Amino acid sequence: MSKKVKSIPKFKSEAEERRFWETHDSTEYFDSGKMVRVRFPNLKPSTQSISLRLPLSLLEAIRIEANKRDVPYQSLIKVWLAERLKQQTSAEGY
- What is this structure's pTM? 0.52
pLDDT the model gives residue 93: 74
Domain-embedded: residue 59: yes
Residue 22: what residue type? E
Q: 29 in a domain, yes or no? A: yes
**Count of domains in the chain?**
1
Tell me, yes or no, whether 45 lies in a domain.
no
For residues 25 and 60, give the distance between their C-alpha atoms in angstroms, rounded to a whole number.
Answer: 49
Residue 82 lies in a domain: yes
pLDDT tens digits along 43-58: 887 888 999 999 999 9
Q: CA-CA distance, 81 to 35, in Å (whole number)?
A: 29
Confidence of residue 94 (pLDDT cuts 50, 70, 90): low
Instruction: Confirm whether 62 is domain-assigned.
Output: yes
Range of the domain at 69: 14-37+53-92
